[in-house]
Structure 1
Amino acid sequence: MFGDEPMHILHCDLDAFFASVEQRDHPELKGKPVVIGAPPNSRGVVSTCSYEARQYGIRSAMPSSQAYRLCPQAVFLPPDMKRYQEESRKVFNILAEYTPVIEALSIDEAFLDLSGSHSIWGSSMAIGHHIRHRVKSELGLNISVGISTNKFLAKLATNLCKPDGIMEFTDQMVVDLLPTLSVDNLWGIGSVSAQRLNHSGIYTVQDLLDAPEQLITSLLGSNTGFILGLAKGIDNRPVTPYEETKSIGNEITFPKNVSDSLAIEQVLLRLSEKVAYRLRRAQLKSHTITVKLRTPDFHTLSRSKTCPTAVNDSRSIFDVARMLYQQSGQEGKPLRLVGLTAGRLQGSEYEQLSLFANSGPDISSVIDRLNQKYTSGTIIPASLLDNHERNQ
């Protein structure tokens, strides 16, 4: 099916990253259910949680109050993004020693193209073991690694071997294993899409391949061709480093529809932090911010705004994102997905200064340094103060 195509794509994913950093830095938390996010007496949501907490059914984007009901003994902690970003930088520095071709999916996840690395570092499996050993020995964190011929299969391998594992998804597995997996293992099929397929008698990847394409199209829409390709183990997307990126975005699909406006705004804030971090890491700024909202009936709305000057700080991105959400007509209505994308990217050094731009140092870096010196959250942008106070 794939001939002699090399296993040159690695997918690396830090295990329960935020919670693992907290457990590493606070040994008394090891083995305990740890929840990162809003406190349980607020209307906020869970950002992420440890594997111990996941055993109780706690998941990202779940209301913190629900997480508390599931596990009253859980330790709830506010996110310390500055610390997580610093640890992420250390991990990406390790990854960059093995290849310059790295596509960061988020603060804790990346694809690596090892096409030019084997003559120096050995096989992809050997490189994966090197990376896992170094991240563990140097940083005290676990990272799972998937290896295959393309991005989808490499990420699938990681999902199957987590936590703290390494796996190579071979050509033979495409023939023997992939067809037996449930359809929600395919990239782009979330819980709601999986339910729709299940209601039509489609449970496995093989069921999907055997079903009439017209039926699949009615259920999955414009993504049908791409998803059917994945079902056959085909994914032609290249690993795209930052310098080739035309936009940077993150999105989240909720396990259950969310209608609470404050919870949606908190998700937008979290996405703004992720996107801003990825922009700064790539030394890029964005002129256009886009918010994507998907309703329970799969209707997708996109709202965009072009900023007068390019931005890469979470405050500016969140201000625009919140405004777009409030003007979308969906405020207070149930949503199944929220996404945020920064487009029209440019290098930071090429920014045309606004007439009213500050001539002093970047306020984001100043705040980062002060929060690092004292306590995270000591200083927050005034534009986020209302949201912050409502979470106390």
Structure 2
Amino acid sequence: MSTTTAKDPVVGPEFINLNVHKAGLDGLDQQRINQIIQEASKGSRFYIFQQRRQKRIDEQIKKLKKQSTLITDFQRQQALKKADMIIVNLEQQRRVLNKIIVHFDMDMFFAAVEIKKDPSLANIPMAVGSMAMISTSNYIARRYGVRSAMAGFIAKKLCPQLKLIKPNFKNYSKESESVMNVIREYDPNLRTFSLDEVYIDLTGYVFENYSRKNNIPLEELYCLDELTDQIWQFTSLVVEEIRSKVFKETQLTISAGISCNTLLAKVCTDINKPNGQFMIKGNRNEIMEFVSQIPIRKFNGIGPVKDQILSAFNIVKPTDIFENRALLLCLFDDIVYYLRIYLGIGSTHLSSNNDDNNQHQQKSHSRERTVGEVGNFDDICLLLKDISARLSKDLRNEQQLCKTITLKLKKINFDVFIKCKTIDHYTDDEQVLYRIGKELLLQEMIKSSNKYRLIGLKVSNLCQTNEKILLPNDQLTLTQFIQMKSSKRKSIDESTTADDDNHCGDDDSDAAELNENGEYECNLCENTFRNPNKFEFHKRFCRGNHCDSQYGLSSDDSGDDDYYCYHSYSNNKDDDHHSEHHVDVKSSPLSDKIDSNDEKKDPPLPSQPQFLKCPICQSNTLFQTNDDLNRHIDICLNRQVCIELTAIAVDHDDDHQQQQKSDISSLSMKKSNKKKRLSSSASSSATTNQTTIIQSSANQTKIEHYYGLRKCKNE
């Protein structure tokens, strides 16, 4: 068959065309296959969706090209210097040449399991899936252009004799566990990314066995900056041994990629598929030569959108990234990842449990199930229950807890609905994950009766199980409450761990940052403050004036710390910023506690005396009991600073402020007359003076806004 390049012009959205970077799809007549795909897809929901998607990408490319014509020579020179500096810094970080990372990928896994069950399928084109979607195809079917993530009816157009097999995920999970048990013997801390894909760090196993076999001190091997050819040859033999054991145990073949980091190992896996292995040694010159020959679409993190955008500027290989580094830096804010691809620098970290460096810890976990069409609430709940159990297992395996749960629903028209909720404690309990997912699902299905083709859950906002966390029945201390600052959290596809296009946030919409003058600025009334405590008091009260609920919560229909995101479906993480349309609904961090309607009690102080910082006077004081803390706060409430805070929070109207100054002066005189009684009896004076200061029910409400966590006050 004749071959054409991947960039042959075709009519219709390019997203529908065959992705030839999948193993077994090279050397095909792409133009003929793409024409069949386009004609078979016309008029379908998927085709209409991809047309909209392609239009957005075309508009973005047009905008970027226009922007590139406006770049001056001076800007290019400055960008070039900056890009070169980034490269220098990345080269200094190239300290991973003494690691041995192996990526294993089962060959046509689902199809191979079915062929194992029915050997008659081995010599005919077959695929696992349905007329709606194909999960996996065997290598015979791939010669016709049939591949995973393709609609079954389109696959039938390409290969009329194709046999479709209904998937059996129970069997696939069982076989996957058998494979992982073999590989786990060589690295107990392996990192799985799917049922058929896993990374291992083989450094320890190779060093120990190579040291014993060649009578070399183990310390000498770990001190090597770059591994010798003999060590890499020994590694190749070990990987062959693993693949042989997997086949002996399961009668399934597996391919492997060997290198010094995950980026290169994954690319190497496809080189000799199926049932083969390929190795790139940890040598800079060999790495640079190998990378220069690989299309950038082959690298993890470069999806169809980025590929289209880069191809529009004739950037198709890593060497093109280097040659156009100044242009890229002028068009995009961050090009570090592109330069890492050019340099062949990837991660060497696999297990977050054994590394103290938080930047390598996984930021989220997600699980999804693709179905035909499902619109029944009970049926979706069954899927959610299974997904919750799997996510809970993932968290426990990583010794992590989550606080934010995100529901993802892909509608039959390929639009995606995402909503997340941040709860008031960290958890890995599958029942909690299921309950939150079910709650978010109910909120969506009440609004509209849609049918869905994909159901997914994602957990983020993670912490390690050994970190200090807030338990479900705990409450924030007053100091934590006052010092609580708003912050914007980055999205869960920040990682490159196969997260899907999910975004969630739990930041406060009323939040404020320091302005250019170093002052705190309220986003509601635009008043500024230099004292952070005054600002916090004002912010709580001001928010209360703008919202309906008692504690100043946003009066949205959920009342939770939610984030809505309606956007078009994307196969890759890199499409998110092109296709989203957001509607933000955010609320106070206390919303979850208030919505739960659970009885709230004053959190007890630790049994041992503890120094705490008073939020009013800012002094560090030793408190034995909760009553001691309450008495101290009541006394501080009588001081001038509380009067000033109340005055600031009441109103910002000029006339009203003048009246308040008069009230403050009057109250200050009353306060000075009672100083003696304060010093003689702190607890009784606190109650008396508090009654004097808080003269009206309105003022009392304002203070209790500020101390909403404390329900019981000393009588």
- TM-score of the aligned structures, taking structure 2 as reference length: 0.40
1:134 paired residue among 241, 245, 253: 245
Runs of 4+ aligned residues of structure 1 deviating over 4 Å after TM superposition are: 1-4, 241-246, 260-263, 269-276, 284-287, 291-294, 306-329, 337-340, 344-347
Point out the more displaced range, 175-184 or 151-160.
Answer: 175-184
2:148 aligns with 60
2:407–2:437 contact (8 Å) kept in structure 1: no
- The Cα of 1:227 is off from its aligned counterpart by 2.7
2:458 aligns with 341
1:384 aligns with none
Secondary structure of the equivalent of 1:99? Answer: coil
- The Cα of 1:17 is off from its aligned counterpart by 0.8
Whether 2:107 is the aligned partner of 1:26: answer no
1:151 aligns with 262
Point out the more displaced range, 50-59 or 77-86.
Answer: 50-59
Q: Structure 2: how far apart are the matches of 1:96 and 1:113?
A: 11
1:11-37 Cα distance to aligned partner (Å, 9 max, x none): 111111111111111101112222222
- The Cα of 1:116 is off from its aligned counterpart by 1.4
Q: Structure 1: how far apart are the matches of 2:388 and 2:251?
A: 26
1:202 paired residue among 292, 295, 315: 315
One-letter identity of the residue aligned with 1:8:
I
1:46–1:61 contact (8 Å) kept in structure 2: yes
Whether 2:302 is the aligned partner of 1:189: answer yes
2:345 aligns with 234
- The Cα of 1:111 is off from its aligned counterpart by 0.9
1:74-118 Cα distance to aligned partner (Å, 9 max, x none): 221222111111111111111111112211111111111122111
2:97 aligns with 5
Q: 1:32 to 1:75 in 2, by over 3 A?
A: same
Q: Structure 1: how far apart are the matches of 2:439 and 2:464?
A: 18
Q: 1:214 to 1:65 in 2, by over 3 A?
A: same
Q: 1:332 to 1:188 in 2, by over 3 A?
A: farther
Point out the more displaced range, 135-144 or 301-310.
Answer: 301-310
1:166 aligns with 277
Q: Structure 2: how far apart are the matches of 1:19 and 1:138?
A: 18
Q: 1:3 to 1:236 in 2, by over 3 A?
A: closer
Whether 2:184 is the aligned partner of 1:100: answer no
Q: Structure 2: how far apart are the matches of 1:321 and 1:70?
A: 40
Q: 1:116 to 1:104 in 2, by over 3 A?
A: same
Percent of paired sites with the same residue: 29
Secondary structure of the equivalent of 1:141? Answer: coil
Q: How does 1:76-115 map to 2 (within 5 A)?
A: 76-115=164-203
Q: Structure 2: how far apart are the matches of 1:214 and 1:292?
A: 36
2:137 aligns with 49
2:257–2:277 contact (8 Å) kept in structure 1: yes
- The Cα of 1:53 is off from its aligned counterpart by 2.0
Q: Structure 1: how far apart are the matches of 2:186 and 2:244?
A: 14
One-letter identity of the residue aligned with 2:198:
A
CA RMSD of aligned residues (A): 4.5
Q: Structure 1: how far apart are the matches of 2:247 and 2:239?
A: 12
Q: 1:188 to 1:245 in 2, by over 3 A?
A: closer
1:248–1:278 contact (8 Å) kept in structure 2: yes
1:291–1:325 contact (8 Å) kept in structure 2: no
1:98–1:127 contact (8 Å) kept in structure 2: no
Q: Structure 2: how far apart are the matches of 1:187 and 1:72?
A: 33
1:68–1:74 contact (8 Å) kept in structure 2: yes
Q: 1:339 to 1:82 in 2, by over 3 A?
A: closer
2:102–2:201 contact (8 Å) kept in structure 1: yes
| Larger CA Rg, structure 1 vs 2 | 2
- The Cα of 1:326 is off from its aligned counterpart by 6.9
Q: Structure 2: how far apart are the matches of 1:275 and 1:216?
A: 41
Q: 1:156 to 1:340 in 2, by over 3 A?
A: farther
- The Cα of 1:169 is off from its aligned counterpart by 1.5
Q: 1:190 to 1:177 in 2, by over 3 A?
A: same
Q: 1:180 to 1:75 in 2, by over 3 A?
A: same
Point out the more displaced range, 302-311 or 315-324.
Answer: 315-324
Secondary structure of the equivalent of 1:160? Answer: coil
Q: Structure 1: how far apart are the matches of 2:368 and 2:338?
A: 18
Unmatched tracts of structure 2, length 5 or more:
1-90, 211-233, 355-360, 411-415, 473-715
- TM-score of the aligned structures, taking structure 1 as reference length: 0.69
- The Cα of 1:211 is off from its aligned counterpart by 0.5
One-letter identity of the residue aligned with 1:247:
S
2:387–2:456 contact (8 Å) kept in structure 1: no
Point out the more displaced range, 53-62 or 81-90.
Answer: 53-62
Q: Structure 2: how far apart are the matches of 1:56 and 1:326?
A: 40
- The Cα of 1:241 is off from its aligned counterpart by 5.3
Q: 1:241 to 1:128 in 2, by over 3 A?
A: farther
1:230-260 Cα distance to aligned partner (Å, 9 max, x none): 22111135112578655323689xxxxxxx9
Q: 1:62 to 1:317 in 2, by over 3 A?
A: farther
1:248 aligns with 365
One-letter identity of the residue aligned with 2:459:
A
Q: Structure 2: how far apart are the matches of 1:83 and 1:293?
A: 26
One-letter identity of the residue aligned with 2:305:
V
Q: 1:138 to 1:262 in 2, by over 3 A?
A: same
Secondary structure of the equivalent of 2:292? Answer: helix
1:17 paired residue among 109, 112, 136: 109
One-letter identity of the residue aligned with 1:46:
I
2:406 aligns with 290
Q: Structure 1: how far apart are the matches of 2:325 and 2:207?
A: 45
Secondary structure of the equivalent of 1:129? Answer: helix
2:421–2:436 contact (8 Å) kept in structure 1: no
Q: 1:100 to 1:174 in 2, by over 3 A?
A: same
Q: Structure 1: how far apart are the matches of 2:435 and 2:167?
A: 20
Q: Structure 2: how far apart are the matches of 1:174 and 1:180?
A: 10
Whether 2:421 is the aligned partner of 1:305: answer yes
Q: How does 1:371-390 map to 2 (within 5 A)?
A: none
1:16–1:48 contact (8 Å) kept in structure 2: yes
1:15–1:142 contact (8 Å) kept in structure 2: yes
- The Cα of 1:277 is off from its aligned counterpart by 3.7
- The Cα of 1:69 is off from its aligned counterpart by 1.9
Q: 1:133 to 1:318 in 2, by over 3 A?
A: farther
1:379 aligns with none
Secondary structure of the equivalent of 2:198? Answer: strand
